Chains A and B, each alone.
Chain A
Amino acid sequence: MSGRNERGERGSPYAPHTAAETAAMLDAVGADDVTELFDIPESVAFDGEFGIDARTERETERHVEGMLARNEDLSEFLGRGHYEHYVPSLVDHISQRSEFLTSYTQYQPEITQGFLQVLFEYQSMLVELTGLGVVNASMYDHATALAEAALLAARVRQTSGDRVLVPEYILPERRDVLRNYTEGAGLSVETYGTEDGNVDADALEDAIDDEAVLVYAENPTTFGTIEENLEAVGELADDHDALFCLGTDPVALALLQEPEQVGADVVVGDAASLGLPTAYGMGLGLFATREDFVRQVPGRLVGASEDADDQRAYTLTLQTREQHIRKERATSNICTNQAWVALRTAIHAAYLGPSGLVDLANDCVSLATDLAARLDEVKGVQAPVHDRHHFREFVAHTDQPAKAVVEDLEAEGFAVHKIGEHHVQVCITDANEHAADALVAAFDEVA
């Protein structure tokens, strides 16, 4: 049966044409054969084979299953920008409903009210969590959202300037994406100092000047420390007419200082910490900003309006900012974005509700604090390295080379980050806490 469709014919199993139907349609268009319809000069026509053998559905499943079975089943204590929380079953079931899953961008709002309302609700929940009035659901991930924030800053700033200031603790990949996205706009990305895992306000004060368009800080930071100097960052940015961009995520937002309160002009992050399990790095860029900047915002925005019956209805709005209308003067090149992940995030957030979300965030503090304390008891390990409050993750010092510790832990069935010669980073959430005892025992064995 390999490669045959349900009628036993070779071809795409998803093209429904019978041979008689194909013949009748060819007749209608006046061709003897489908190949006649291809207007391709012979010199560039492809007459070879891809060499890809067709498979039945069952064969394909088994093939991919066999491939993915080569992934080792490790207990992951990994974070650093990609977080796993338990995703309620409701999220999978609803998001797999084909009316959502198989739809396109909502260019015809009358027939896509369902998705538009979900996105409006997503926007609204993030407005509550960030305190900022405008949220899009369009960024690919934390890194690209940060890059778009810098471009937004360059567009809205009253005076010229080309410096984007980022803290030493920024992930290299975020810095890399930021540099790639902003180079074309003539911006330069520069690093300012940190102290014991948090922003060093004095170092930032030395680094900042009126050429700065954006100052970036995180809460929690890449090291999992809870940032204690956000108000100082906001004030310094304000003094120099630079935008303050805060990197965070929706779980942390339920507990930690409200971005709007500390002077954040833009909030970025990975919102898929709610809604997606580990997906080898796939995420959802969180992007929120002040209403003043709404006409310079990248990506899609959903607004409320009325229909012909004067009922409230939703539609994409301010589309004149977007590439399909504004072309090279668009606020970004985004077209296909991350709507379905936003749907999942919205369902997960609504499922938790305010108490559930705050509880989950509190767990992120207590689980990390407790695990660090337990690892600190292990001979050869000191944790946490930073004398700060922690959220989800922390850095630990190992007397043995970190490389050996990480490899030995992997052999025992655990994955943690190696981040220096003698430093590892460990992340714990509701998704892996059940394996915490075993992790401590494994550290005890290898460290």
Chain B
Amino acid sequence: MEYDQARWTTNDEYEPLLSEKNTEEVEVESSLPDELTRDSVELPELSEPELARHYTRLSQMNYGVDSGPYPLGSCTMKYNPKFTEDVAALPGAAVHPDRSDRSVQGSLALMAGLQDYLGRIGGMDAVSLQPPAGAAGEFAGILVAKAFHEANGENGQRKEIIVPDSAHGTNFASAALAGYDVVELPSAADGRVDLEALEAAAGDSTALFMLTNPNTLGLFERDIEEIADIVHDAGGLLYYDGANLNALLGQARPGDMGFDIMHYNVHKTFATPHGGGGPGAGPIGVTDELADFLPAPRVNDDNGKYELFDPEQSVGKVHGFQGNWLVLVKAYAYIARLGDEGLEDASAKAVLNANYLATQIEYEVPFGPFHHEFVASAGDQDAADVAKRMLDYGVHPPTTKWPEIVPEALMTEPTEIEGRETLDQLADAFNAVANEDDETLEAAPERTSAKRIDQTSAARDLRLSWQSLDEE
């Protein structure tokens, strides 16, 4: 595959900043007393055609799933159907969050429908759509666990959350945000949860064990029932991090495996665009005994008459309104489009693709068998350099250097959307880089909009606005 990314330049500089094209300072005049207003505002002043060109050029200097393969492990970057954008742009979708329930029965029906879909897919009894991202879902889930222990009079003693060393950084950060101590659990030699270590870690002070299954190495935690027993016997709850749910649709459900709380990354599993890093949405599902603690509001379906309600012992709100609504609309439309067979097939093909690609690359791939992703080791090469060089082959590289339990990790998740030809191209890119010397890798990339960027100096000499550039 041949690839050169657009590189727009003016006077040898890449596409100038808006401020460098034209800015104007206007004096502020108003009917208000002077002491309540500012003096002036200085901002770019450009015509619509000038802006259209500026942003179009910038878009051409950006890479998305529609540009090419994006096997960014754990991020689940898959094709976003276009019709969901049209659905989210329907006039009925644009309502104010303070509208009366009576006047927005359509929005509430969709939310009730999504609560129902997600409950069935996850094997969970009750769902709240409030959290605006996966990490916000984790945080909300932890609040639910805290409220549960509080109701049992055990909150004072249960101050710890156990997290495997291969877990997403958000698990650690969300636990800390909720005021918990984090107990990091070392993985066993096969990359899975070490049952003995878990047994030793779980006890009277355990509030929650947060687990991703399949885990970030792409491995299914086969001992999940024993894991659930250990955690439950210790009086703790089991949390499912939904980041990797794309590997399981129709094959297994967190609720059936003994998980008490889970979040869904609907932007990953249900193909809603990541938008350069968000918005996403992180609904959470729980078992019956935790339903009363869910974040507010939820939607109640009374024979087709819908209303928002606050669960009886709700932990309250983690977002000012109803979460990232437009993302929820897209997720609903995606699920409604695929149905049982489409969802099941998506996971099947995602798993097939990961296993196929893992067999086609020359880098060592420890552990296995894999679900939707695998972690290769770049060995003697620097994984970050491997990633930079892969850009020259027209593919987005995998996630690098994480999880740390694989040296120079290349965490790769092709998802179900790639056919064999693209997977072979990806493998060719991996294999070409695997046989290149460090000098070539360190000089990469050459064919992208910008050449290798000095990230160290960006952190040392902070320039976070065009104003800071002017000061130089």
Contacts and interface: CB of A to CB of B under 8 A. Distances in A.
A73 B92 CA distance: 8
Interface stretch (B14-22, B194-202, B229-237): B14-22
B167 to A, nearest CB: 9
Interface string B417-430: 11110000000000
Contact of B455 (A228, A278, A317, A369): A317
Interface in A308-349: 308-309, 311-315, 317-320, 322-330, 332-341, 343, 347, 349
A159 interface: no
A81 interface: yes
Interface stretch (B285-293, B375-383, B432-440, B459-467): B459-467
A26 interface: yes
A149 interface: no
Given A52-B336, A318-B459, A111 B5 contact: yes
14 contacts: A3-B338, A25-B420, A34-B352, A44-B256, A54-B341, A72-B104, A99-B66, A109-B453, A112-B63, A179-B316, A255-B32, A328-B173, A335-B169, A358-B26
A315 B420 contact: no
A90 B56 CA distance: 11
Contacts of A46: 123, 250-253, 256
Interface in A266-294: 270, 277-283, 291, 294
Nearest to B66: A98
A338 to B, nearest CB: 5
B79 A103 contact: no
A142 to B, nearest CB: 6
Interface in A160-184: 171, 173-174, 176-177, 179-181, 183-184
A317 to B, nearest CB: 4
A57 to B, nearest CB: 5
Given A16-B419, A336-B280, A140 B324 contact: yes
Contacts of A281: 97, 319-323, 325
Contact of A10 (B64, B87, B320, B341): B341
Nearest to A80: B98
A98 B466 CA distance: 27
B69 interface: no
Contact of B177 (A90, A93, A123, A181): A181
B138 interface: yes
Given A13-B342, A105-B75, A320-B459, 11 more contacts: A14-B79, A25-B356, A112-B62, A114-B449, A179-B316, A307-B450, A336-B265, A336-B278, A336-B282, A340-B275, A354-B45
Interface residues of A, number: 189
Interface string A40-78: 110111100111111111001101110111111110101
A96 B45 CA distance: 23
A366 B31 contact: yes
Contacts of B89: 92
A173 B63 CA distance: 37
Contacts of B363: none
Interface string B104-132: 11110110010001001101000000001
Contacts of B30: 255, 358, 361-362, 365
A128 B41 contact: yes
Given A11-B342, A327-B173, A44 B225 contact: yes
B452 to A, nearest CB: 4
A303 B463 contact: yes
B340 A357 contact: no
A16 B317 contact: no
A101 interface: yes
Contact of B133 (A101, A129, A334): A334
Closest 4 CB pairs between A and B?
A281-B321, A340-B275, A54-B339, A184-B179
A43 B321 contact: no
Interface in B339-379: 339-346, 348-349, 351-353, 355-356, 359-360, 369-371
Given A43-B225, A103-B276, A111-B391, A90 B48 contact: yes
A177 B319 contact: yes
Given A96-B85, A306-B457, A317-B462, A111 B445 contact: yes
B149 interface: no
A288 to B, nearest CB: 10
A294 B459 CA distance: 11
A80 B344 CA distance: 43
Contact of B420 (A24, A100, A135, A355): A24
A68 B92 CA distance: 5
Interface string B253-284: 10011000000010100010111111110100
B76 to A, nearest CB: 10
B396 interface: yes
B321 A353 contact: no
A357 B464 contact: no
Contact of A67 (B25, B72, B110, B138): B110
Contact of A64 (B95, B329, B341): B329
Contacts of B271: 14
Interface stretch (A202-210, A232-240, A256-264, A433-441): A256-264
A28 to B, nearest CB: 6
Contact of A389 (B32, B280, B356): B32
Given A81-B320, A281-B322, A365-B32, A108 B276 contact: no
A120 B17 contact: yes
Contact of A180 (B13, B170, B279, B317): B317
A325 B404 CA distance: 11
A304 interface: yes
Contacts of B132: 140-141, 144, 282
A68 B404 CA distance: 46
B173 A333 contact: yes
Interface string A83-127: 010001010111011111111111111111111011111011101
Contact of A124 (B77, B417, B466): B466
B31 A335 contact: no
Contacts of B55: 94, 97, 118, 347
Given A90-B48, A326-B169, A308 B452 contact: yes
B117 A350 contact: no
A387 interface: no
B209 to A, nearest CB: 15
Given A51-B340, A280-B107, A307 B454 contact: yes
Contact of B336 (A55, A69, A417): A55
A110 B419 contact: no
Contacts of A308: 443, 451-453
From A31, A35, A308, A327, residue with most partner B Cβ within 10 Å: A327
Contact of B416 (A15, A45, A76): A15
B397 interface: yes
B37 interface: yes
B188 interface: no
A328 B419 CA distance: 39
A305 interface: yes
B405 interface: no
Contacts of A373: none
A186 B148 CA distance: 19
Contact of A173 (B35, B120, B321, B453): B321
Contact of B335 (A40, A52, A125, A185): A52
A68 B257 CA distance: 35
B46 interface: yes
B220 interface: yes
